């Protein structure tokens, strides 16, 4: 995990890191790059190396639910897909987890067939886990409507946004019609959330859901269009090369493209509708 020395985290949050509860100073503090809304730091103490994540001011946004994140993260961490979370403090907006050594993927990794094959194989293992019955299935249409309400609250014109939200719901309905067994999906597979260490780790589970496994492949291809020419190894390794999955993949991609557009618009960083 590469980072640069930057602003220090809030002292109250630092005090939640193991060995710093009594006010001791950390041995090393390093701001980690990659976060858009949350802020993360590597913090070393006499007890080890940790990652401290502090919620940004718009952490409570559609698609993010800390209780769901915690439930799913704990499952995948026990199964070896993610770093162990050592502390969750929802009131303070803080998570402390173990620090893992490795190389964060770059955009080039997402364009290499062998890397996408490795990712697909990892996703197949993830999707084989039993999802918890306590987590409601992913509802992209409802998420899109929540974004639309945020856009309306800002007084912005919503004609285009309403059309995008309707398209998200329509595409999600097509995916749902496939009727496959839901699985735990990561839901935010940017290259910055993939860490190559002693194995391929998946980081930052705040958008994790229980959903059709095709959504994880769609997420990769929506966020990184340059990966699409190499989609076949990803889909084959992930067990998504069947006719049913291929038939709904484009619709699942449209779901992520639409939600991404609405996410940017709701944050006031408008992007063109596709």
Cβ contact 190:221 at 8 Å: no
Band of pLDDT at residue 37, cut at 50, 70 and 90: confident
The least confident of 32-36, 50-54, 107-111, 138-142 is 32-36
User: Looking at the whole model, is its pTM more than 0.85?
Assistant: yes
In contact, 38 and 123? CB cutoff 8 Å:
no
From 98, 117, 133, the end of a domain falls on 98
274 domain residue, yes or no: no
Query: Residue 27: which of 47, 56, 6, 51 has the closest Cα?
Result: 47
Specify whether 133 is located in the same domain as 234.
yes
130 and 246 together in one domain:
yes
- The pLDDT of 30-44, averaged and rounded, is 84
Beta bridge partners of 40: 32, 53
Q: Report if residue 273 sits inside a domain.
A: no
Point out the domain boundary residue: 49, 67, 98.
Answer: 98
182-233 tens-digit pLDDT: 999 999 999 999 999 999 999 999 999 999 999 999 999 999 999 999 999 9
- Across the range 24-52, mean pLDDT stands at 90
Task: Please check whether residue 30 is in contact with residue 19, taking contact to mean a CB–CB distance below 8 angstroms.
Answer: no
pLDDT at 58: 55
At which of 98, 132, 150 does a domain end? 98
Structurally, the chain folds into a number of domains equal to 2
User: Contact 220/110 with Cβ under 8 angstroms?
Assistant: yes
Contact between 271 and 257 under an 8 Å Cβ cutoff? The reply is no
Number of residues that make up the chain: 274
Question: Residue 146 sits in which domain range?
Answer: 103-266
Nearest to 108 by CA among 3, 217, 222, 230: 230
Cβ-contact 3, 17 below 8 angstroms: no
Residue 180 carries which DSSP code?
P
């Amino acid at each position: 995990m590469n980072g640069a020395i930057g602003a220090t985290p809030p002292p109250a949050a630092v005090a939640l890191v193991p060995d710093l509860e009594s006010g001791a100073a950390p041995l090393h503090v390093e701001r980690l790059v990659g976060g858009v809304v949350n802020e993360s730091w590597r913090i070393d103490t006499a007890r080890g190396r940790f990652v401290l994540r502090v919620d940004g001011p718009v952490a409570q946004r559609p698609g993010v639910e800390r209780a769901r994140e915690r439930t799913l993260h704990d499952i995948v961490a026990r199964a070896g897909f993610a770093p162990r979370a050592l502390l969750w403090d929802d009131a303070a907006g803080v998570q402390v987890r173990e620090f893992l050594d490795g190389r964060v993927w770059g955009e080039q990794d997402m364009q290499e067939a062998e890397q996408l094959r490795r990712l697909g194989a990892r996703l197949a293992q993830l999707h084989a886990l039993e999802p918890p019955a306590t987590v409601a299935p992913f509802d992209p249409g409802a998420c899109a409507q929540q974004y639309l309400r945020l856009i309306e609250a800002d007084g912005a014109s919503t004609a285009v946004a309403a059309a995008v939200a309707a398209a998200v719901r329509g595409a999600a309905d097509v995916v749902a019609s496939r009727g496959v067994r839901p699985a735990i999906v990561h839901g935010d597979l940017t290259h910055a959330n993939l860490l190559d260490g002693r194995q391929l780790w998946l980081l930052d589970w705040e958008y994790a859901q229980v959903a059709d496994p095709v959504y994880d492949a769609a997420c990769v291809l929506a966020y990184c269009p340059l990966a699409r020419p190499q989609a076949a190894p990803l889909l084959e390794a992930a067990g998504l090369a069947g006719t049913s999955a291929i038939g709904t993949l484009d619709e699942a991609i449209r779901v992520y493209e639409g939600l991404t557009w609405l996410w940017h618009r709701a944050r006031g960083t408008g992007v063109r509708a596709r």
